């Protein structure tokens, strides 16, 4: 269950390799051994894309330079207590089957609210599912999907982009199950899953969304986790399409951003995302909860339930 990420300071000063690369007109990667990466230079002002994120996704295709599984060691998926193991069609055009865990429920004429929860880290574990119990106890049907390349499954890790496609496919699977109320269909996610929940909520409409400890700036992320860079880092659009801060106006539902008091605080990037969302009338707020990056999740789940119940 534990997310490997630990908040720590970092900088964006250009490296000597990047300066040399600029001098000779080469990618900084040309000076590195295979599998290594130079520091990625963040633009001084994070760009604001005028195009709706959903439209931008229709024409953009990520260029993966490394074909790799999700970068976290993990065991094959079983079925944790209280879950039903299902598969949903992830990947391009539903070309791969991915495992998800669904809470037990009985369809009836009285439609039930549902929550799609996107887990943290780069692997799915039973501990993630244990955190979902308050949702189904509160009357929500909950689906926790795994993503491409995780736990020995098919597909290549892409660093948030194709994983967003998986999340959207999981959403379609959940909302079309019998007995699900499409008007009370919610989204939440933690850490990497919080990042994906923002990108998914900018692509299609949910009733409301709660990103927990979410990243909004992919330049920042891949400077911290350079070993996960698998796409063409010389193309700025690759980073833009993974950065929700660049598409704040595309957020399509009321959103509550949560974070722990003992992790890296809401910063200028988050404030910029919120200002861009509110500038077009989107309801978005943020809240600090006691806890660390991982320790905040149980409290955040409780706050998510309160937030979602306001829309039921």
Domains and CATH numbers, the chain: 14-44 (no CATH), 49-309 (3.40.50.1820)
Residues in the chain: 312
89, β-bridge pairs: 97
Burial 100-138 (b: 16+ CB within 10 A, else e): bbbbebeeeeeebbbbbbbbbbbbbbeebbebbeebbeb
User: Which of 311, 287, 283 has the alpha carbon at shortest distance from 299?
Assistant: 287
Tens place of pLDDT for every residue, the chain, 312 residues? 434 433 332 232 333 233 223 322 333 333 333 444 567 889 999 999 999 999 999 999 999 999 999 999 999 999 999 999 999 999 888 999 999 999 999 999 999 999 999 999 999 999 999 999 999 999 999 999 999 999 999 999 999 999 999 999 999 999 999 999 999 999 999 999 999 999 999 999 999 999 999 999 999 999 999 999 999 999 999 999 999 999 999 999 999 999 999 998 999 999 999 999 999 999 999 999 999 999 999 999 999 999 999 998
Both tokens of 264, joined, read: 């890296």
pTM recorded for the entire structure: 0.88
């Amino acid at each position: 269950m534990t997310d490997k990420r630990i908040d720590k300071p970092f900088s964006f000063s250009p490296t000597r390799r990047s300066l040399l690369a600029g001098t000779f007109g080469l990618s900084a990667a040309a000076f590195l051994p295979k599998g290594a990466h130079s520091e990625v230079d963040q633009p001084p002002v994070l760009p604001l894309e005028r195009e709706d994120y959903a439209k931008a996704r229709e024409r953009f295709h990520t260029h993966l330079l490394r074909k790799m599984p999700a970068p976290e060691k993990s065991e094959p998926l079983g079925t944790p207590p209280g879950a039903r193991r299902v598969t949903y069609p992830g990947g391009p055009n539903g070309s791969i089957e991915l495992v998800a865990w669904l809470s037990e429920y009985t369809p009836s004429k009285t439609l039930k609210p549902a929550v799609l929860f996107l887990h943290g880290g780069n692997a799915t574990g039973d501990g993630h599912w244990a955190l979902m119990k308050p949702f189904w106890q509160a009357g929500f049907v909950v689906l926790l999907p795994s993503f491409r390349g995780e736990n020995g499954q098919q597909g290549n890790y892409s660093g948030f982009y194709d994983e967003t496609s998986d999340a959207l496919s999981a959403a379609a699977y959940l909302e079309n199950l019998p007995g699900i109320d499409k008007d009370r269909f919610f989204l939440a996610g933690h850490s990497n899953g919080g990042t994906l929940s923002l990108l998914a909520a900018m692509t299609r409409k949910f009733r409301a969304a709660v990103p927990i400890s979410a990243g909004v700036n992919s330049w920042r992320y891949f400077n911290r986790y350079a070993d996960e860079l698998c796409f063409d880092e010389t193309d700025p659009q690759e980073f833009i399409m993974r950065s929700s801060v660049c598409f704040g106006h595309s957020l399509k539902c009321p959103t509550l951003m949560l974070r722990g008091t003992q992790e890296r605080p809401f910063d200028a990037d988050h404030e910029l995302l919120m200002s861009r969302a509110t500038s077009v009338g989107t309801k978005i707020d943020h809240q600090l909860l006691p806890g660390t990056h991982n320790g905040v999740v149980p409290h955040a789940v409780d706050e998510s339930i309160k937030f979602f119940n306001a829309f039921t």
